[in-house]
Amino acid sequence: MSAVTGGGAAAPVPPTVDPEAPRSQPVRGRETWGSRITGFLSKGVVSVVLALVAVFWLVPTFGLFIASLRSAQDNTASGWWNALTTPAQLTIQNYRDLLANEGMVNAFFNTVWITVPATLLVVVLASLASYAFAWMDFPGKDWLFIVIVGLLVVPVQVALIPVAGLFGDLGIYGSRISVILFHVAFGLPFAVFLLRNFFAGIPKELLEAARMDGAGEWRIFRSVVMPLGLPAIASLGIFQFLWVWNDMLVALVFADSSAAPLTVALQSQARQFGSNIDVLATGAFLSLVVPLVVFFSFQRYFEQGVLAGSVK
Amino acid sequence: MTEARPGGGAPPARAAARAREGRWLAWLFLAPAGLVLLALVLWPIVYSIWRSLFDRSGQAFIGLGNYQRIFTDPDTFTALKNNLIWVLVAPALVTVLGLIFAVLTERVRWGTAFKLIVFMPMAISFLAAGIIFRVVYDQDPAKGVANAIITSVHDVFSSSSQYPGARPRDADAMPATDAGGFASVETIQPGSTILLPLVGVEAGTLPDEPQAAQPPAEAAGDQVTGTVWFDFTRGGGGVPGEIDDTEFALPGVTVQAVQDGEVVAEATTDDQGLFVLEGLDPGDVQITLPAGNFAQPFRGVSWLGPSLVTPAIIGAYVWMWAGFAMVLIGAGLAAIPRDALEAARIDGANEWQVFRHITVPLLAPVLTVVLVTMIINVLKIFDLVYIIAPGSSAQAANVIAVQMWAVSFGGAQDFGLGSALGVFLFLLVLPAMLFNIRRFRQEQQ
């Protein structure tokens, strides 16, 4: 269940249930204000309340979407909801402009070229390390894993300045590689934590059977653990993908303007908020669409990743 | 590598060799991740602590001077204060909302769809959420949906005034009342007429096609008639207090007649600025212009102004993360043994008692994890504040992570103070780190 419990991504362990948990001692006929409230909360009321909440949750994103379909003049003159009564305002011109905007298109591809390698690298490095933590024997194993658990919550702020200096010395400061490396480093503790817990849950017999067949560690890793660990790897991949795709701070520090991803390109636009809402709303939507597609396609894995690693 | 091995002879020796080989292999599996973590996470933590003891340029050792600055510098101090507000408010709010949503979704058939809707913002970036909420919080009620809703709700309960800021020409004859309106000093008798010249009328509040003001008609015995107009002749000229040819009438002004301290009649001026107060008893009449005519229109809440900017950003944060809490707590709920709840219900407990005395205590471990996760998350909050707070409120909305970025990379290049702020954040999450480690070790046993 919790981040730090065992159980892996695909099989979140239920929270520990305390058998001594206080049983209620209800008194018949005694009406408290609380009981009256719950009594009132019949199904219909609950439905209405939840429907209102759902609208409340949808309207902001929907508003931005409509705003991205209106011209800059319309947006500076009136609110997006005016387009609901005058649909003639809707246009895809903003998106055309955005796709013709070299800076934004470049930024979009920077996002892709940062996110994909950073995700793959984390998956590969973490799988290797997690296998060692789960199934191999080496001195200091428990302590090293506790270090990993500790690193889960380290704020990036404590590393930005030294790593910037290091990358400067290596001559990669400002490049996409520097952003990728930093993301890999800060994605690893969570990744190792998640995968190790899942790998450890693979039945021992399967590994032993492979060993009997004379398979070495590398082969067991590749042909037994990796295929069986796929659900956890999927969770991790999605999580890391979204984390890197959505990041702004790391890229803001490490990427120069030619390597800047969409988030950084958009934040510089946000400085003059209002006059350029057409670029901002459209760009924000462009950066939103990929995570949303990932979210809806792999929602189950995403949820499992959240459940398994809630401390990040 | 030197621990004692049981027994001796050939097979153990081979086993030992295999174990040695296995260890060597284990290090090989660990090496790539280990090196990256060592170089880009562990070493930087140590270096940051060291660097935080030096000044801006790194030349002079200043001990804890940078840490002293964190607490004395007004900018950083605002950041500390705001982070405290964040930590106290946001995690609790997210957890409570998540709990409510998780419990309620179990009671409706479309719970899955609801979960998806509330969970969705978690997939998008803080940046996109920031832009979304900049639009929501737009000050102009014509553009920002938050103020659009608030002003329209407000206008349902109190109609907006016609002439904000307008006032009588002669402040001595008709001074302002405590309530914000105006009342005549001298009283008149029914059957007389009165002129009520106003000045300070904003041009935009006049009707689209203003009409010339007309002098009032003769009043009957139980009436007071009069004119309210804009006593201002464009381009100069005109006599103050008299209706000149080119002066415009002010329609829609409410005029009241007060006798013995009570409002006995009320009228609204027509297009020519004329009004008739009727049904008056003989006796002294005081003429008043109530405050409703002159109140400034309600322009909505200044969400992103310095005083509300932090609560407003917390609102956006809750929007993003309530789904996270809901999903975690929902999974916890699903794991609660149903028979425990059923048993309580059979014992006669109502839903509230079941929730309060069974569900919540059983969920306590999950609620703690959500709360701790949110506290860690909130301590590092950066993007949302950076994007939503407009320049004018940036100081008021400042948080540690934004300040850390600003002093180190946002122009000041003060790596000493920046390192100190980074280390300070690290120290703040340390209790959470220990909490996690303790939990982890407990689970291992």
Is there a single domain that holds both residue B231 and residue B265? yes
Chain B residues near residue A280 by CB distance under 8 angstroms? 131
Q: How far is A69 from chain B (nearest CA, A)?
A: 14
Contacts of B170 (CB under 8 A, 6+ apart): B197, B241
Q: Which residue has the higher pLDDT, A34 or B227?
A: B227
| pLDDT of A227 | 92
Angle at A40 between CA A37 and CA A42, to 5 degrees: 130
* Contact residues for A116 (Cβ-Cβ < 8 A; gap 6+): none
Please list every residue in chain B whose beta carbon sits closer than 8 Å to the beta carbon of residue A22: 357-358, 361
Q: Say yes or no to pLDDT of B226 above 80.
A: yes
B365 touches chain A (CB under 8 A): yes
- The reply to whether B222 and B275 lie within a common domain is yes
Within this chain, do residues B439 and B314 fall inside the same structural domain, yes or no?
yes
B278 and B308 assigned to the same domain:
no
CB–CB contact A161 B51 (8 Å): yes
Distance CA A146, CA B191 (A): 94
Q: How far does B65 lie from chain A, in Å, by closest CA?
A: 18
Partner-chain contact B41 A153, CB within 8 Å = no
> Which one of B253, B269, B293 terminates a domain?
B293
Q: Do B332 and A14 touch (CB under 8 A)?
A: yes
Domain-located, residue B55? no
For residue A267, list chain B residues with Cβ-Cβ distance below 8 A: 127, 386-387
Q: What is the pTM of this model?
A: 0.79
pLDDT by residue (tens digit) across A89-133?
898 899 999 889 899 999 999 999 999 999 999 999 999 999 999
Residue type, A199: F
Together in a domain, B221 and B281: yes
**Is B146 an 8 Å CB contact of chain A?**
no
Q: Which of B252, B271, B293 is the last residue of a domain?
A: B293
* Domains of chain A with bracketed CATH: 41-91 (no CATH), 102-308 (1.10.3720.10)
Q: Indicate whether A12 pLDDT > 50.
A: no
Separation in Å, CA B192 to CA A217, B42, B220, B231, B264: 108, 90, 8, 21, 16
Measure A171 CA to nearest chain B CA, in Å: 15
Residues B289 and B308 in one domain: no
Instruction: Please check whether residue B368 lies inside any domain of the structure.
Output: yes
One domain for residues B128 and B173: no
Q: How far apart are CA A192 and CA A144, in angstroms?
A: 11
> Contact A67/B133 with Cβ under 8 angstroms?
no
Cα–Cα distance measured from residue A50 to residue B130, given in angstroms and rounded to the nearest whole number: 24
Q: What is the dihedral of CA B47, B50, B51, B52, to 10 degrees?
A: 120
Q: What is the dihedral of CA B39, B43, B48, B54, to 10 degrees?
A: -110
B125:A15 CB<8 A = no
Domain for residue B438, yes or no? Answer: yes
B390 with B425, same domain: the answer is yes
Indicate whether B432 belongs to any domain: yes
Q: Which of A15, A157, A162 sits opposite B47 (nearest CB)?
A: A162
Mutate to test the interface with A, among B29, B119, B368 (most CBs of A within 10 A): B29
Q: Single out the residue of B82, B80, B48 nearest to residue B417, CA to CA.
A: B48
What does the DSSP assignment read for A15-75?
PPP-TTSPPP---TT---HHHHHHHH--HHHHHHHHHHHHHHHHHHHHHHHHHHTS-HHHH
Q: Could you tell me if residue B52 is inside a domain?
A: no
Contact yes or no for A24/B353 (Cβ under 8 A): yes
Closest chain B CA to residue A255: B409
Of B334, B353, B400, the CB nearest to A35: B353
For A102, the token pair is 């070299």
CB pairs under 8 A between A and B: 375
- Do residue B30 and residue A49 have CB atoms under 8 angstroms apart? no
pLDDT in tens, A253-272: 999 999 999 999 998 888 77
Q: Which of A31, A33, A47, A154 to mutate to test the interface with B (most CBs of B within 10 A)?
A: A154
Nearest one of A103, A111, A108, A105 to A251, comparing CA atoms: A111
Could you identify the residue written with the tokens 């990256």?
Answer: B36
Q: What is the domain extent for residue B84?
A: 65-149+303-444
ipTM: 0.84
Exposure class string for B81-110: b at 16+ Cβ within 10 A, else e: ebbeebbebbbebbbebbbbbbbbbeebee
In 3D space, the residue among B90, B100, B109, B122 whose CA is nearest the CA of residue B330 turns out to be: B100
* Contact across the interface for B145 and A59, Cβ inside 8 Å: yes
Between positions 68 and 127 of B, the ones with CB within 8 A of A are 101, 104-105, 107-108, 110, 113-114, 116-127
**Assigned domain for B175 exists:** yes
Under an 8 A CB cutoff, do B25 and A136 touch?
yes
pLDDT value at residue A36: 60
Q: Report the residue from B133, B348, B408 with minimal CB separation from A161.
A: B408
Please tell me whether residue B404 adopts helix, strand or coil conformation.
helix
The model's pLDDT over A31-87, given as tens digits with 9 standing for 90+, comes to 566 666 665 567 788 889 999 999 999 999 999 899 899 988 888 888 888 888 888
- Kindly identify which residue of chain B lies nearest to residue A157, measuring between CA atoms: B422
B321 in contact with A at a CB cutoff of 8 Å?
no
Is B405 a domain residue?
Answer: yes
Residues with Cβ < 8 Å from A126, sequence gap 6 or more? A187, A188, A191, A192, A194, A195, A236, B33
Report the largest interatomic distance among the alpha carbons of chain A, rounded to a whole angstrom: 76
**Can you tell me the distance from the alpha carbon of B212 to that of B209, in angstroms, rounded to the nearest whole number?**
10
Residue of B nearest to A136 (CA): B26
Looking at the fold, whether B287 and B372 belong to one and the same domain comes out as no
What is the DSSP secondary-structure string of B232-275? --TTS---TTS--TTPBB-TT-EEEEEETTEEEEEEE--TTSEE
pLDDT score of B134 more than 50 = yes
User: Which of B271, B293, B315 is the endpoint of a domain?
Assistant: B293
Domain count, chain B: 2
Is the pLDDT at B108 greater than 70, yes or no? Answer: yes
B108 phi and psi, to 5 degrees?
Answer: -120, 155
Q: Are residues B307 and B431 in the same domain?
A: yes
Mean pLDDT of B157-163: 66
Same domain for B401 and B316: yes
Per-residue confidence (pLDDT) for residue B3, from 0 to 100: 42
CATH number at residue B380: 1.10.3720.10
Decide if B192 is inside a domain. Answer: yes
Mean pLDDT along residues B62-79: 92
My answer on whether B266 and B341 are in the same domain is no
Give the mean model confidence (pLDDT) for residues B211-231: 88
